Structure 1
Amino acid sequence: MSDLHQITAKERSITASSFAEVLRRHRHAARLTLEQLAEVSGVSDRTLSDMERGRSKGPQHRTVTALADALHLADADRKQLVELAREGRLRDRWARPTGLCELPRSVDDFTGRAAGLAWISELLRAGDAPGAAGVGLITGSAGLGKTTLTVRAAHALRPDFPGGVFFLDLFGMSPQPLPVDEALGTLLRALGGADPQIPGDVAGRASLYRSLLRDRRVLIVLDNAASEEQVRPLLPAGGAGKALVTSRRLLAGLEGVRRLGLGPLPPPEATELLTGILKDRGASDEGSAVRQLAQLCGGLPLALRIAGNRLVSRPGWNAADLAARLTNEERRLDQLSAGDLKIATAFGLSYEQLADATRRLFRRLALVPGRDLDAALAAVVGGTSIEEAWDALDELVDLGLLQDNTSGRYRFHDLVRLFARDRLRQEESAAERDAFTAAMTSWLLRTATTAGRWFDPGYGDPGRAGPDAAALSSLEEADHWLRVNADNWLGALRHGASIGRFAAVLDCAESMDWFSDRWMHAPHWYEVFTLGAEAAAALGDQARQAAQLNMLAWVHLLPRDDPETTLRYTAQATDLATRSGATIQVALAQHHAGGALRRLGRLDEAIAAETRAAEIYKANGDIDRYCHSLGALGTCLRDAGHYAEALEQYLGLLALLNDDRSGTTPSVAALIRPIALARVGECLALLGHRAEAISKLTEAISLMEQGRLAFPQARSLETLAALLAEEDRTGESHHAYARAAEVYQAIGDAEASSRCRDLATAAP
């Protein structure tokens, strides 16, 4: 045995390669391929390949015997092969392998992920506490830098593991992930085990492996895990050994591990990473162009590295040039390619793991117009039941191809959506894509129309709109669906208009009449009612066109605060309504014109217009719109300085709203009541009754919050805050201003939000 210690490195290399050469010579003489010899001998082709390449220097005796039998070796040849294998095993026994499972290098320009590094450090350094987990699982979709983060942390923590830090790629995205027995064998050899000491079965290897990890302070990094079954035997069972596992899958079945889910880098860190990659370039890149490039990469470290490498390798380019190329969505994935790094390839590995039905749904989800969706829409797009859609969505989330949240909605990363769209073009015909899009558009328009009609007091039972109403059984559900799916149904409205589905588009736009009052700060009403007006014109229906023009007048009166444009729309609406005999639309045009005239300071004209509107509504028995006109008339009186008359008008309106026999629709009363209460408060304040005014405004604000009437709520909070300040109730005033700032911020009025925030912090 001492002679073995005297073997030089050169001699060891010759001996190892001699075994490989002898085995290869005998296989060639037998005219067998690796696969054929594997089939005859029962030894895996991977193991045979390792032997012939010199990677497996000392195979076990029974393995060599099986090979000798399969090759029909004569006694001398058999003895030589067995002896060479024996010498290799003896070498392995007395000389621990070097470089086996060595940790990859850490990139010099690593950026960000401070929270992730701290999480790993805390996990591994606190792991000695009784009951503490010694295993960390880092998950996330392709391109997020799971391996880079884990390798960075492992290098930093190497001094804490005197027994060594070992890295093993489990090939989880490969069609053939690393078998558990081979993984255990590799790790046992890296830990100093010799082949004669390594059991042949998985259970025996796992037991030996756990015993070695129990008493040795080592860190095992298991990269790219495929499944729970692959990982479980490779985890320490307590003691000094620790492990970090990375996987694109969530591996939800693993027990006793702590989990870290990675997301894209935030914009500042993404820009910093790209800047770091580009720091040694001769060319200078504008900061704004680098930020735009980082944004187009969606915060994915792999995409950022590809973009950076492309620029580094092409000194004549600058960041603005590449950003311009990436702006084209149709070409973005192709441009995110540098050498053997391709973002589409990374996504493709995950895609290939999916079942056929899930791949089909994944592709078709690229058709969804909005940024997120729910299982019901997924079922429509995929042409499946909702139960099948849930299963497929879970699979997509598990592989990181979709992101989910606690509200049951799913969304793509921008680059993954482009990949799904590319797969759709490659694997589905244009006719199939058109059919899926048409089915989705029809469903979205029907459902949005049904939801909108829940708020129309004149429509009756929304359930008569069709079977889709079954999913929206209350006004609250309809409100929620319209808000969270706004991008989707608006996208369907656009597509419907583009393909000539004018009747469906007009039905949907009309159904939004009353709902728009509840969500007046939403940014899309101009487009909704413009599409509605164009659809009505295409259908040649002047009365319905007048109604849509009146809605555009409303958009410019309240959300846009553009009274001159409002008057242009009301003039067009009045002309069409008069010619078509649509009396109610004439009244509505008068009502909107009154609001515009009031804002322009033409108060006598405004009072006259609102009075005419109220008279028409009353004569036609339209009590709901009559109430709207009464409220508007009160506002005109208030602005004209007739505070007592305005107060009387509002009190009369409240009495009408509170009278169950008035015929006012309950939902309309609930909408108008808080606004009327707020106006009562404003009039009381103008008449010098501040205490009563504060009480009424406080009550109105509470009702507005319940009804989600954000725009009037913000204005009433600001009015209340000013009154509280006049009463020297400074703390309450500051609190009201702060709440007003929050609501203004939520509806996108940054100027008003800033104004109220300053007043909230102003010294008394």
Structure 2
Amino acid sequence: MEIAFGILGRTRLRTAAGFSADWGKPKERAVLAVLLLHANKSLSVRTIAEWVWGDEPPANPYGTLQTNITRIRSALRMHGLPGVISNEERAYKLEVDRSLIDFFAFDELVWKAKSAAYQPTPDHEKACALSEQAIALLSDEPLADLDSDLAHDRRRVFLRDQYLMAANGLLYSLGRLDRHEQMLCHLNEIQPAHDLDVMLARHRLIALYGLRKRVEAVRYYLDVRRRIRTEIADGSEEELHRFHEELRVQHAKQLVPVPAGPTPQYLPHDADTFVGQQDMLVQLNNLVLPQPQPRLVALDGPPGVGKTTLAVHWAWSVRSRFPDGYWFAALDGMADGPRVEVAQVVKDLLAAFGIAADSIPSLEARTARLRELLANRRMLVLLDNVADAGHVRPLLPVLSNCLVLITSRSRLSELAVHHHGRCLAVDPLGHNDIMTWLTNRIGDRAQAAPVARLAELADGMPLAMQLIGEQVAAQPRRSLDDFVRVLVRDRAVLSLGSGSAGSIRAAFELSYQSLTAAQAHLFRLLGLHPVREVSLDIVAALAGADREDARELVDSLVWTRLVEATDDDRYRLHDLLREYAAERAEQDEEPAERAAAVGRMLAWYTRAVHNADRHLFGFRKEVPALPMPPGVCERDFADDDDVARWCLQEEAALVAVIQSVADPEHAWRLANGVGELFYRYSRNDALLAVMRAGAAAARACGDVAVLVDTLLNLGFIHMKARHDHESADRCFREAREIFGDRDDPETLAVLLRNEAECLRGAETVSTAIATYQRALAITGKDDTRAGILHRLGETCLRGNRFDEATSYLYQALHLRERLGDSRGQGDSLLALARLAFDRGQPLSALSHCHLAIGMFQQARRPVGEASVLTLLGAITRDSGDLVAARHYASRALELCQDTDREVEAVALDLLAQIDWKTGELDTAVERWRSAADAFHDLGDRRADGIESQLDEIADFTQPSVPQTRLQSETAERLSGEILP
């Protein structure tokens, strides 16, 4: 189970961006640390205050703590984290699974490591791994956000007892595995704080004697024994003396010397320029220390990812650690010709030792002779391109005294399970690494933009990178831009090196040919999807299979390294592999089967979008769903959060499917269905893309009603998500022309509502109200009525018709409450809060704001929450609480950045005003400029007011903005519409 909370260091939370301590204020992190440390236990306010504030509690501990608890609850909800904080009789309790907290996960890992090390048949590999996992959880001193005496005492107990227990367990197992260099590395980190601990001293002596550093061991023993006697005098020096004597006698005999003779020394040429894979090189270096011990390590990954290049490069870097020899053997497990078998490897190694294999009559005798030669040697043996575990299984006993590094396109888990090996997956290179290599290869011709595009085409695949670099280098008179133009053509990168064994297609072909018929069929079908990552549901729909059968089959592709498994039952193909899969589908699948698979996929998406839409917006008119083909299981949703997770996961896939795969009949349904979901979650770029595609599909279908509805939705998106009223107006005019004089009151009501929406400015208020009222008179649908009533209220507010605005907004709110429309309730509550603010009723405004925030959080609409926070900032600014105002405005900016330009501009303007009031003049000017730029981009007249302020400021050496004018302009700006 993944850790969700951390207190072994600063108080951290698992967020979408990773495990982070950069959330909340210091006291919020401190309070959560106390609750996590005492998970599932009730703590009085006094106890929590002692942990958090020590001897200097706040004047009102209960109120202060309640504020922090409220913010912690909000943070947990925002990041989708488990845990409920209850409050009974002035005591708080965090109810949560303790295994999600690193403090308790640490103890569990240490206990499991101890069990593995001391069972009848010890598994020290497992014990080491578990102990290392436990120690890795400690990012800093425990409870680092707490500074009380109680926290200091708890830290000392943890480090003295729990941490040292884990460290001693790890050192014990490393010693049993003869990994003495690793022991010293860990001891060098641990011992400075515990330099007279006898157990740690014993471990250091074991490591030093194991590394044959007898003189250093004796010197260390004498020094530490003397210090124990003089500094702590507890008699433990005698225990250390007895242990040292036993150890010295045990290591008195020297190892048998290596017999004389030739030393095998062969590695292929290293790469002239090696880039990337630094993490993997560090992992390999950590496994193979300066005096290496026998180990088995396997590198796996898809074809072309650079496994052999990495292995050879690393082998060259550490070859000096292997004075007894190093050897490379290509086993051709995936190759055009026959693979190299164990017998040939044995024969070649005997020859490297100067022994003619033909002089030894049988393979069994040759193997025995090679085992004898390797018995007292520490060699590095690199076995490249191994087909599977069975390919090398007979060779492993012979190489049991060596460090064996294997590369394979398959995951060799058998080696990890049965031979205590370590399997490491090689990932594609990063974009910057590819750019560095290409720039070096191309030389003086390199230009940033074309090289960056070439790097994107390589997509992290070293083989593609090398072939692109070679193509460019071989044609020095050809421009890089021309190379890019050629390579962006369909599957042009796949074709590089065609006709040679080193081409990308040839590399993929070898893996493809090794698949079973069922695996190859599924691999081809995955190429029909337009993006690299798909869910298990889509795998099942493409294959026409149930989830469990689909899971078993796709997991078998994961082990071939043609497919990668990710979180939440999702699977990913490298883009070049996906192109290759699509190519194979065109060649090897019947057109009817391709069409059927795509049809199943589109039907699944259409029904999933329909079910998500019904779950959230069941009160609105639905987009008609098509029937599901036989054998396709539809996606249901447990709750609103389930819909949100699914929608965000499938965003890229939905956009690509609608744009490039769906026929017009599916496309307009998918676009109109998913549009409301994307709007709810502020996915504005995706929203505009799918609605444009939906409009094009609706035109192709020729259904007037469908086209009108889709154009209305597209215009609404231009207006609300992009603030592009010109494009919105074009869509509405086209819809009106197509609609003509059809007898459809509901569609006409929406047309009128949108036309009124486009009327902006004080001079159009009366016209807009009249148009809304016409729309209201003809609609019979509650959700349409609620929207029109809400907009009537906002328009009346814009025209200072406060009583009418109040009436309309409350009517809209009551309708939306009855419909269960949480986002709509948030919008109406926010408008009522603005109304109260404009009428000089701050308490009423605050009350509506807090209700609105709850609704927007429930609807998972951060832009709405940000809008409320800007209003809260204005209210607290006017009350003189600039600290709270800054907090609200800053949080608003975080929530809306890169999602809503208008709310971002309002938040910047508010922050600038606060900066100005607190004397941070340069910062204020900078923020006003940013706000003005944003309003200008939106064509919003609020930019003019800010620029006037900036002009006045520039006219004075010590600028001063009149307070009354600032307040009036701010009130005017904040009273403007932010959300629909």
Aligned pair in 2 of structure 1 residues 381, 652: CA closer, same or farther (>3 Å)? closer
Aligned pair in 2 of structure 1 residues 461, 383: CA closer, same or farther (>3 Å)? closer
Partner of 2:819: 665
Alignment partner of 1:603 is 2:755: no
Partner of 2:74: none
Contact 1:453 1:462 (8 Å CA) reproduced: no
2:450 pairs, out of 289, 312, 333, with 289
Deviation at 1:624, TM superposition (A): 2.0
Question: Which runs of structure 2 are paired with 1:737-748 in the superposition (5 Å)?
Answer: 737-745=889-897, 747=899
Partner of 1:381: 542
Q: Is the deviation greater in 462-471 or in 415-424?
A: 462-471
Contact 1:590 1:613 (8 Å CA) reproduced: yes
Partner of 1:343: 504
Give the number of the structure with larger relative contact order, counting CA–CA contacts within 8 Å between residues 6 or more apart.
Answer: 1
Ranges in structure 1 where 5+ consecutive residues have no aligned partner: 1-92, 659-663
Q: Distance in 2 between matches of 1:694 and 1:551?
A: 33
Partner of 2:111: none
Q: Deviations over 1:709-761 (max 9, x none)?
A: 23323333444445455556555555544543443346385994997599599
Q: Distance in 2 between matches of 1:193 and 1:520?
A: 72
Question: Which runs of structure 2 are paired with 1:647-686 in the superposition (5 Å)?
Answer: 647=806, 649-658=808-817, 664-666=818-820, 669-686=821-838
| Amino acid across the alignment from 1:665 | L
Contact 1:674 1:704 (8 Å CA) reproduced: yes
Deviation at 1:311, TM superposition (A): 2.3
| Amino acid across the alignment from 1:590 | L
Q: Distance in 2 between matches of 1:748 and 1:646?
A: 25
Contact 1:714 1:743 (8 Å CA) reproduced: yes
Q: TM-score, normalised by structure 2?
A: 0.59
Secondary structure of the residue aligned to 2:272 is coil
Alignment partner of 1:277 is 2:438: no
Contact 2:531 2:653 (8 Å CA) reproduced: yes
Question: Which runs of structure 2 are paired with 1:55-74 in the superposition (5 Å)?
Answer: none
Deviation at 1:143, TM superposition (A): 1.4
2:528 pairs, out of 367, 377, 388, with 367
2:481 pairs, out of 304, 307, 320, with 320
Partner of 1:111: 275
Contact 2:762 2:799 (8 Å CA) reproduced: no
Q: TM-score, normalised by structure 1?
A: 0.74
Q: Distance in 1 between matches of 2:306 and 2:763?
A: 61
Contact 1:112 1:269 (8 Å CA) reproduced: yes
Contact 1:325 1:335 (8 Å CA) reproduced: no
Contact 2:869 2:891 (8 Å CA) reproduced: yes
| Amino acid across the alignment from 1:625 | T
Partner of 2:720: 558
Q: Is the deviation greater in 563-572 or in 299-308?
A: 563-572
Alignment partner of 1:627 is 2:792: no
Contact 1:741 1:757 (8 Å CA) reproduced: no
Partner of 1:311: 472
Q: Distance in 2 between matches of 1:536 and 1:284?
A: 48
Contact 1:310 1:338 (8 Å CA) reproduced: no
Partner of 1:75: none
Aligned pair in 2 of structure 1 residues 634, 362: CA closer, same or farther (>3 Å)? same
| Amino acid across the alignment from 2:511 | S
Secondary structure of the residue aligned to 1:630 is helix
2:495 pairs, out of 334, 344, 364, with 334
Q: Distance in 1 between matches of 2:462 and 2:536?
A: 30
Aligned pair in 2 of structure 1 residues 270, 691: CA closer, same or farther (>3 Å)? farther
Secondary structure of the residue aligned to 1:168 is strand
Aligned pair in 2 of structure 1 residues 474, 126: CA closer, same or farther (>3 Å)? farther
1:713 pairs, out of 837, 846, 865, with 865
Alignment partner of 1:549 is 2:711: yes
Q: Distance in 2 between matches of 1:545 and 1:126?
A: 71
Partner of 1:356: 517
Q: Deviations over 1:308-353 (max 9, x none)?
A: 1222223323432322211112433223559653111111121122
Deviation at 1:220, TM superposition (A): 2.3
Q: Is the deviation greater in 505-514 or in 672-681?
A: 505-514
2:409 pairs, out of 248, 256, 277, with 248
Contact 2:782 2:815 (8 Å CA) reproduced: no
Deviation at 1:692, TM superposition (A): 5.2
Q: Distance in 1 between matches of 2:511 and 2:626?
A: 44
Deviation at 1:271, TM superposition (A): 0.7
Aligned pair in 2 of structure 1 residues 394, 546: CA closer, same or farther (>3 Å)? same
Secondary structure of the residue aligned to 1:277 is helix
Question: Which runs of structure 2 are paired with 1:288-687 in the superposition (5 Å)?
Answer: 288-336=449-497, 340-430=501-591, 432-454=593-615, 455-458=617-620, 470-474=634-638, 476=640, 477-494=642-659, 502=665, 504-512=666-674, 514-515=676-677, 517-526=679-688, 528-530=690-692, 532-533=694-695, 541-574=703-736, 576-577=738-739, 579-598=741-760, 602-617=764-779, 620=780, 622-643=781-802, 646-647=805-806, 649-658=808-817, 664-666=818-820, 669-687=821-839
Alignment partner of 1:267 is 2:428: no
Deviation at 1:124, TM superposition (A): 0.9
Contact 2:786 2:813 (8 Å CA) reproduced: no
| Amino acid across the alignment from 1:611 | Q
Aligned pair in 2 of structure 1 residues 602, 199: CA closer, same or farther (>3 Å)? farther
Deviation at 1:272, TM superposition (A): 0.5
Q: Is the deviation greater in 527-536 or in 255-264?
A: 527-536
Report which of the two structures shows the higher radius of gyration computed on alpha carbons: 1
2:332 pairs, out of 151, 171, 179, with 171
Aligned pair in 2 of structure 1 residues 145, 700: CA closer, same or farther (>3 Å)? same
Contact 1:306 1:338 (8 Å CA) reproduced: no
Q: Distance in 2 between matches of 1:754 and 1:223?
A: 61
Q: Deviations over 1:565-615 (max 9, x none)?
A: 333433444455562211011111222222221368622222222233333
Deviation at 1:172, TM superposition (A): 2.4
Q: Distance in 2 between matches of 1:300 and 1:402?
A: 14
Deviation at 1:354, TM superposition (A): 1.0
Q: Distance in 2 between matches of 1:381 and 1:319?
A: 39
Q: Distance in 2 between matches of 1:95 and 1:237?
A: 20
2:310 pairs, out of 137, 149, 153, with 149
Q: Distance in 2 between matches of 1:304 and 1:519?
A: 38
Q: Distance in 1 between matches of 2:447 and 2:701?
A: 52
Q: Is the deviation greater in 728-737 or in 709-718?
A: 728-737
Q: CA RMSD in A?
A: 4.0
Deviation at 1:393, TM superposition (A): 1.6
Contact 1:140 1:400 (8 Å CA) reproduced: yes
Contact 2:607 2:635 (8 Å CA) reproduced: no
Q: Distance in 2 between matches of 1:753 and 1:163?
A: 69
Contact 1:171 1:177 (8 Å CA) reproduced: yes
Q: Distance in 2 between matches of 1:599 and 1:359?
A: 62
Aligned pair in 2 of structure 1 residues 755, 609: CA closer, same or farther (>3 Å)? same
Deviation at 1:273, TM superposition (A): 0.5
Question: Which runs of structure 2 are paired with 1:73-112 in the superposition (5 Å)?
Answer: 96=261, 100=264, 102-112=266-276
The percent identity for this pair of structures is 28
Q: Distance in 2 between matches of 1:650 and 1:95?
A: 95
Q: Distance in 1 between matches of 2:910 and 2:506?
A: 51
Q: Distance in 1 between matches of 2:811 and 2:504?
A: 66
